[in-house]
Structures are given as C-alpha cells and as structure tokens.
Amino acid sequence: MKISILKFICIFSIFLIYSVVWSPFAAADNHGEKEPVSYHKQIVPILKRSCQGCHHPGDPNADLIVTSYAELKRGGMAGEAIIPGKPDESLIIELISGDPPAMPQNQEPLTAEEINLFTRWILEGAKDDTPAEADETNGEYPSYTVPPVVSAMAYSPDGSTLAVSGVNEVLLYDSKSFELKARLVGKARRIQSIIYADGGKILGIAGGSPAQFGEVQLWDTATNKLIKSIRSTYDTIYGLSFSPDASRIAFGTSDKTVRVISITDEKELVRFDNHGDWVFGTVFSTDGSHFVSCSRDTALKLVEVDTGSFVDDVNSSNKGYGEINAIARHPKADQVLSVGEDRIPRLYRMFRQTRRDVGNTDFNLIKAYEAQSGSIDAVAFSVDGSKFAVGSSSGEARIYNVVDGKRLLSMQGDTVGVFALAFHPDGTQLATGGFDGKIRIFGANSGKQLNIFMSVPIETTASEDVTLTVTGMT
C-alpha cells in the first residue's frame, strides 16, 4: 500500500512539474488565438465593395489596381500598397485608417474591425489564399423555387436561340422547341443587358452585384465558353452596346457615368460624367464614331467616342418628359427611340439638323408616338427597322409601325410589368418577359400567344437558403 502511495505521489509530482513548465506555452498557443485572416474570404469582399470602383484596370486612380492580388501587391504611384509583415509601412493601412481616411472616396469609411482585418492579414504575411478555380465558374447551376424577374433577353442573329436572364446566369433556349440548350453561369448576380455581336459570334452580358462590382461578360457562342470578364465600377451596370466592328463596348452605370472600353486590352477609353443621375442605356451611331446615352436625369446625350467630348443634348430635357428607362437605335439609321416615365415613345435623330433656338424647341424629334398604359421599361426594333415594340409597367406589350406610328398589335406580355422584349430576326415572333418570370412568345403579325414557359427550371426540392436567395431578386 505504501509503495502504491509513493508511486502515485511521484507521478503526480511529475505531472505538476510538466504543468508548470509547459503551461505558459499552452496559454500562449490557445489564449486569444484567432484563425489567420483569409485574403480570398475576408479581404477581397471589402476591396470589391469599397475600392474596386476607383482602382480597376480600366482607369486606376493613382495607378493602383486592387482587382487582383498581384496588382495590389505591385502598388501604385505612391509606392507599395502592402509590405508583408509590416502593416505600419504598408500604404494601404495609411490610406484606409487616416483621419479622415483617404480611401474609400465618396463612400463610408471602413470600420475599425475591417481595418484590423487588413492589419492582421499584412502582419501575418499578406498571403494569397485564392483557390485556383476561384475565377472560374464551377459548373453548378443556380436552383430556383420561384422564377426571378426577367430583365433582359435577345435572339441570336440566326434566330436559333433565345437568351434569357436568370440569377447569376443567362439561359439559352431553342427558339423552335423552346427547350433549354445551355446555361451560362457567371459571377454577376443581376443581369441587366443581353446582346449578340460580331455576327452572333459573341454574346455580351452586362450586370453586376449591387454594392460590389459591375461586370461585362463576353461569351463564345460556338463553344458557350467565357472569353473574358470585364469589371468596372462598384455597382450594377446597364445598357450594354457594341461598336459596329465589335472592338468596343459602352455601358451606363449607377455612378452617373458612361464608360467605353476597348475589348482587346480592356482599357477604358471614355468616362463620360455629364449625366446627373443613373445611366440606363447606350447606343453607338451606325459608323461607331459617336454614342448616345440615356439617364434618369431625362437627357439623351451625344458624345464623340475618340475624344470623349460632349457634342449635344439630343432631346430637350427641360420639357418635363420624365426619366428615360431605355433606348434603342434604328437598325439602319442614326435614329434613337427613347422610352420612360412619361409613357410616350419618342424617335429622335442623333445628329442635329436645325440649330437650337431660345425656346429650346425639340428640333431633333422625328415623331412622338401613342402614350402607353404605364411607364415604359423595354423597347426594341424589328431587324428591318419597320416596326418597334414597347413593354410597359401595366404588363402590356404593343407593336407599332415606325413611319406612321400606327398601332399594329396589343398583347398581355406579363401579369404585372414587361421589362424585356425581343423580335425574332425573321420578324414573325415577339418574345416578352417581366415581373412574373414567364416568357411569352407572340406572333408578331397576329398577336396570338404561341407559347409560354418559365424563364428558369423550377426545383421544388431546392433548399431554404437558395429559396431566400432567389426570391430576393423578385
């Protein structure tokens, strides 16, 4: 019994010694220790939200680009943005934590917690933990329990495909069977524009994720592979258009600017900031030398592409016509059809023939058409330019003759509001989409509804999380 007690005392003494010796190290390892800061999961979302609007490849403020780790590490005109292990010497910490902070501009400053994340990340070595596949689509398609609002659609030039907006994707339907052929999944959550270019070889998609980034995606229609993604601004972008030779794109933004980008090198050629509100549409002239943009500020503005110089107000915006929601250019002429809040489609010549007068008469106006039953959100010309269609907030779609303004057809294009429509290239069909998420196909000569189907496949077994995500778009 005594031996057992002595043995126990010896073992207990050894345990106490080890506890005393190792306890400081154990405390150092476990007390208050946090997981390392993740560049990909924690730093990048902040950069997207607060920094990429001014520091992107198109026109980097102070030559600082933050859209990739390599560019961020390179720094800008003022020096290195991040010096691993040395937050006090890293320029980005100085910029985001000053009093007042120099970054981000014209936005809310970063919180103390966000600044601490940057500081810790740099102190821990400023490592790039971006997964190799992070910038690629993973092939997983969004799931839907209810259809999202249809905000954009387009027929391919050969008429074989109807492209329809979804959430984080564009869905391609066979225009004869209306069966789903392919799904182009990207990063942009909201899709605002769909347009074919270069004879149908390229499908351009524009949109973005609100308060994070605006994005233009260019897809190879032969392979349905993403050619490139061009990001610009810190919010969703609108009104994508291609120059006639498909070398440039133009689009509007919620920061009240119009951007023109060179597709080859992604260089920002023009940043036009003469609008006073969100810009919803852009169209190039027939020769690509100019573009016209429309805005909630009620103005149509003509700009020279090569110089970025403002040329003219196409319309007389002081006439109280209201916000302009969309524009379309005549397929064969330098004429632009404008639609919006006041419910009246108006056709303008892009280039002025009559000088302004004291009363600011609307001399560029060719024709004002019939008022619609609600504000107009969608407009499209037929391929031959003889007809145009409009979709309104009443859910109605109408087709008109361009020349004489005669109303040809009226159709119920949605139960609530029509936000997108497109003529088939052969002129026989008009596709509409809107709030209820259904695609309706009408005979463009008869007005008869030929087909109706959901814009997306509905999965009743989708998880609750996905349900909340998708319904948040409606």
Q: Token match 């039953």: residue?
A: 373
Q: Token match 């387009």: residue?
A: 154
- Can the peptide bond before residue 142 be classed as cis, meaning omega within 30 degrees of 0? no
Tell me what the pLDDT averaged over the chain comes to: 87
DSSP structure string for 462-473: --HHHHHHHHTT
Tell me the C-alpha distance between 360 and 377, whole Å: 27
pLDDT at 474: 37
For the entire predicted model, the pTM comes to 0.73
At 461, is the pLDDT very low, low, confident or very high (cuts 50, 70, 90)?
Answer: low
Residue 368 has pLDDT above 50, yes or no: yes
pLDDT at 278: 96
- Name the strand (E) or helix (H) holding 389: strand 387-392
Please state the rounded mean pLDDT for residues 38-50: 86
Please state the rounded mean pLDDT for residues 179-183: 95
pLDDT at 132: 61
Please state the rounded mean pLDDT for residues 133-158: 82
Three-class DSSP labels, 285-354: CCCCCEEEEEECCCCEEEEECCCCCEEEECCCHHHCCCCEEEEEECCCCCEEEEEECCCCCEEEECCCCC
Residue 57 has pLDDT above 80, yes or no: no
- Name the strand (E) or helix (H) holding 12: helix 2-30
Residue 2 has pLDDT above 70, yes or no: no
Residue 119 has pLDDT above 90, yes or no: yes
pLDDT at 125: 93
Please state the rounded mean pLDDT for residues 212-221: 93
- Per-residue model confidence as pLDDT tens digits over 396-447: 999 999 999 999 999 999 999 999 999 999 999 999 999 999 999 999 999 9
Residue 471 has pLDDT above 70, yes or no: no
CB 62, CB 51: distance < 8 Å: no
261-269: long-range contacts (C-beta < 8 A, 24 or more apart)?
Answer: 261/58, 261/216, 261/230, 261/232, 263/218, 263/228, 263/230, 266/57, 266/58, 266/228, 266/230, 267/57, 267/58, 268/58, 268/59, 268/232, 269/305, 269/308
Helix, strand, or coil here: 446?
coil
pLDDT at 449: 97
- Can the peptide bond before residue 87 be classed as cis, meaning omega within 30 degrees of 0? no
Give buried/exposed letters for 74-91 (b at 16+ CB in 10 A, else e).
Answer: ebbeeebbbbeeebeebb
- Name the strand (E) or helix (H) holding 74: helix 69-74
427 DSSP assignment = S
At 56, is the pLDDT very low, low, confident or very high (cuts 50, 70, 90)?
Answer: low
Higher pLDDT, 318 or 145: 145
Q: Token match 């940043």: residue?
A: 271
Higher pLDDT, 313 or 468: 313
Q: In what order do the strands lie in the sheet with 438-443?
A: 418-423, 429-434, 438-443, 449-454
At 17, is the pLDDT very low, low, confident or very high (cuts 50, 70, 90)?
Answer: very low
Residue 455 has pLDDT above 90, yes or no: yes
User: Hey, what are 163's tokens?
Assistant: 């492209």
Burial (CB count within 10 angstroms: exposed 0-12, middle 13-18, buried 19+), residue 157? middle
Tell me the C-alpha distance between 217 and 188, whole Å: 9
Residue 256 has pLDDT above 90, yes or no: yes
